[in-house]
Structure 1
Amino acid sequence: MLLSGCSTAPPVVKPQENLLIKCPKTLPPLTDGTARDVVLTMSDWASQYHDCATRQRGLVDAIKEITNANAQ
């Protein structure tokens, strides 16, 4: 018995390079504990968190898109 058919490999899709950047392992420390320093440092922390969370969500979306495309 001989079986034949079309064999198509799913396209190789790579996530965007900017989605593959790791989040920082450490955050900038407070330097002197003044109110100004606390506000500036916490603002920096919030900015780093937002950037990291945005990339992570983008990577999750890209992986789901690739997975769904390969499943079809």
Structure 2
Amino acid sequence: MEKKTARLTILIDPEKKKALETLCQQQDLTPSQVVRQLIRDYLQKHGVEYTTQTTLSRPKGGTN
């Protein structure tokens, strides 16, 4: 789990922001949680490793 945070400012269409906030509220999530998960998924998809990466977020592979 990350210990420090850094600010990332994004510009988004107001209607998309409103729709995201509504959906997040229905799912009991914050928009920040959703964006952080999207970033983790994107990094994983492209095979990017980083120091705060947990074993739960790494791609599954190998033998069981």
Q: TM-score, normalised by structure 1?
A: 0.28
Higher helix share: 1
Q: TM-score, normalised by structure 2?
A: 0.31
User: Highest CA radius of gyration, 1 or 2?
Assistant: 1
